[in-house]
C-alpha cells in the first residue's frame, strides 16, 4: 500500500469517527436537551402571558385601592349624642328612605359605662331580600357605631312573594356620655354599600306552577292546524281556534319562533322555574 493511499484511508477514517461522534452527540444528547429547552420555553411563554394579564389589572386595582383607602380615611365613625331611643328610630327611618322595608323598632334597655353607653333594641320587619340587605348594610356601614346581633331571615312564602323575607335582629347603638365627640349635634352620615350580594338564597329554583286563570292556550293540550310566516293557528284545549304571533302569550310562556320551512313553531315555557322549549309541528 502506498504512503498516499494509507494517509487517505486514515483521513477518511478520522472523518467518519468525527462525523459519527458528532451525529451521536446531537441525536442522543443534544436532542433531549433541545426538547427540554423547548418545554421550558413553552412554560416561560405561558408564565409571561399570565404576568401580562396580571399587569393589565394593576392600574384598575390601584385605582380601586385608592378609592377604598379614601373612603376609609375620609369617613370617620361617631356615636349618638345621648341615650334617647327616638334618635335611633329617627336615624333608622332615614336609612329606610333609601331601602324601602317595613320595620318595627322596640326599645329594650340602656346600659352605660364611664364615657359611653349602649342602647339595646330589637328590629323586625319584612321586605324584598335585596332591600333588607341594603337596610342592614347601611346600619353597619353608616357613621354611628352600631352592632347587629342575632339576625334571622326567613322567606315570606308564595303568598307574600318569593323575593320577600321576614327579618329580626338585635341592635346595639353606642352613645356619648361625656361629650367626647364634637359633632354630636349633627345628623350622622349614611353610607349605602353598593357591592353587597343581592342574590336571594331563599328564592326557590323550583316553584309551584300558577293556574291558568287567564284561560291562555295550553301548549301541552293544543295542536297546530296551520301556520304562515307571521302567525300560528292553534286549536287550544277548549277546542277553539286561536291565532298567535311571535311573542304572544300562552299558558306558562310565549310563542318564541315560527319556522315556515320546517312547518313548526317553538314555545318557551317556564314550568315553575324550569325553562322548557317546546317545538310543535303542523298536524296534517
The predicted-structure confidence for 135-190, as pLDDT tens digits, reads as follows: 998 898 888 889 999 999 988 876 666 788 999 999 999 998 877 666 555 677 77
168 and 91 in a single domain? The answer is yes
Report yes or no on 149 lying in a domain. yes
Coil vs helix vs strand at 196: coil
Q: Are strands 249-250 and 146-155 parallel, antiparallel or unpaired?
A: unpaired
Establish if 248 belongs to a structural domain: yes
Tell me the average pLDDT across 104-111. 92
Question: 223 and 164: one domain?
Answer: no
193: cell is: 354599600
pLDDT for residue 229 is more than 80 = yes
Residue 183 within any structural domain of the chain? no
How many domains does the chain contain in total? 3
In the chain, what are the helix, strand and coil shares in percent, each to the nearest 5?
35, 30, 35
Domain boundary among 176, 203, 232: 176
pLDDT at 200 over 90: no
Q: Which residue bears the cell 446531537?
A: 26
> Same domain, yes or no, for 231 and 168?
no
Is position 197 within any domain? no
Unique residue bearing C-alpha cell 376609609: 72
Helix (H, G, I), strand (E, B) or coil at 19: helix
CA angle 265, 270, 276 (to 5 degrees): 50
* HEC assignment per residue over 155-177: ECCCCCCCCEEEEEEEEEEEEEC
Domain boundary among 30, 50, 74: 74
For residue 195, being part of any structural domain is answered with no
Residue 135, domain member (yes or no): yes
For residues 100 and 137, state if they share a domain: yes
Domain span at residue 254 reads: 219-281
Helix (H, G, I), strand (E, B) or coil at 63: helix
**HSE-CB for 237 with a 13 A CA cutoff:** 10
- Chosen domain end from 42, 74, 106: 74
Amino acid at each position: 500500500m502506498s504512503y498516499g493511499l494509507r494517509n487517505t484511508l486514515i483521513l477518511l477514517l478520522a472523518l467518519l469517527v468525527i462525523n459519527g461522534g458528532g451525529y451521536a452527540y446531537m441525536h442522543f444528547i443534544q436532542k433531549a436537551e433541545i426538547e427540554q429547552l423547548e418545554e421550558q420555553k413553552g412554560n416561560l411563554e405561558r408564565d409571561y402571558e399570565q404576568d401580562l394579564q396580571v399587569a393589565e389589572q394593576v392600574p384598575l386595582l390601584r385605582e380601586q385601592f385608592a378609592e377604598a383607602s379614601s373612603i376609609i380615611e375620609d369617613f370617620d365613625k361617631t356615636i349618638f349624642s345621648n341615650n334617647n331611643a327616638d334618635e335611633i328610630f329617627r336615624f333608622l327611618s332615614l336609612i329606610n328612605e333609601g331601602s324601602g322595608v317595613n320595620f318595627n323598632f322596640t326599645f329594650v334597655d340602656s346600659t352605660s359605662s364611664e364615657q359611653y353607653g349602649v342602647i339595646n333594641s330589637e328590629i323586625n320587619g319584612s321586605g324584598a331580600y335585596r332591600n333588607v340587605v341594603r337596610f342592614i348594610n347601611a346600619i353597619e356601614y353608616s357613621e354611628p357605631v352600631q352592632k347587629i346581633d342575632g339576625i334571622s331571615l326567613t322567606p315570606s312564602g308564595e303568598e307574600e312573594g318569593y323575593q320577600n323575607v321576614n327579618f329580626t335582629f338585635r341592635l346595639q347603638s353606642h352613645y356619648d356620655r361625656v361629650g367626647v365627640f364634637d359633632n354630636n349635634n349633627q345628623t350622622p352620615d349614611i353610607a349605602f354599600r353598593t357591592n353587597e350580594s343581592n342574590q336571594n338564597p331563599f328564592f326557590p329554583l323550583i316553584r309551584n306552577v300558577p293556574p291558568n286563570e287567564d284561560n291562555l292556550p295550553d301548549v301541552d293540550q293544543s295542536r297546530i292546524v296551520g301556520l304562515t310566516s307571521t302567525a300560528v293557528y292553534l286549536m287550544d284545549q277548549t277546542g277553539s281556534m286561536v291565532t298567535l304571533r311571535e311573542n304572544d302569550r300562552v299558558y306558562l310562556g310565549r310563542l318564541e319562533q315560527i319556522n315556515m320551512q320546517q312547518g313548526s313553531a317553538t314555545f318557551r315555557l317556564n314550568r315553575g322555574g324550569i325553562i322548557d322549549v317546546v317545538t310543535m309541528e303542523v298536524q296534517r
